[in-house]
Amino acid sequence: MISIQLILLIIFGLAAIWFGWRVFMTSSMVRSALSLLGSMVAIGILFLVMEAEFLGVLQIMMMGTEMSIMAIFMMMYMMDPGGLGNMDMSHQKNVSIVAGVAVTILITGAALFADWGIIATQVPSAHEQNRLLGMEILKRSMMIFETAGVTILTGMIASIAVALSIKKSMEK
């Protein structure tokens, strides 16, 4: 029986795939960044369809910000951000296509032929999910969450250190 959840999953899944494909098919860098934003928002909606409300909203908000920043960087660093010159910025296309198709077939085969066991029909309500996720973070997964926090701090320091301009006094 085809349920509403399955229909929504297919619609937004196809949207995510379509936008993901458009990222590498357009010569305009701004369109690439916006297509990736579309794909990430579609993934966020897929989370909402799968009843993971908190993660869905978090994904849409986070990726909205990140892709906007990415679009700005694209315009800063690209020689032809509007894609007016139709520059080809790809290499080893055949190898990449073969690798992409082979991995897709491999994972799809695993998804189709694996024995997934019993499928759950019920999930906790949205507010109960938030409470249980909070309990998970504050109890069993506390060290992992703390590690993620420290990793973000390390990443921030590393980013600033890498992006600093090398002064002449430092070169000596």
Partner 1 sequence: MELLITALIIAAVLFGIGLYGALSQTNLVMIMMGIELMLGAAMINLVAFWRYLHPEAFSLQMFVLVAMTVMALEGAVGFAIATQRFRTSGTVEMEESAELKG
**What is the footprint of partner 1 within residues 90-119 (CB under 8 A)?**
90-93, 95-97, 99-101, 103-104, 107-108, 111-112, 116-117, 119
Min separation Cβ 71 and partner 1, Å: 10
Show contacts with partner 1 in window 25-44 (CB under 8 A): 29, 32-33, 36, 39-40, 43
Separation between Cα atoms, residue 162 and residue 160, nearest integer Å:
6
Query: Residue 70 in contact with residue 36, Cβ under 8 Å?
Result: yes
Contact flag: residue 158 with partner 1 (CB under 8 A): yes
* Amino acid present at 147: T
Nearest 5°: the CA angle 48, 50, 54 is 45
* Amino acid present at 79: M
Number of residues that bind partner 1 (CB under 8 A): 84
Smaller CB distance to partner 1: residue 93 or 172? 93
* C-alpha to C-alpha distances, 138 to 4, 15, 128, nearest whole angstrom: 35, 36, 15
Min separation Cβ 117 and partner 1, Å: 7
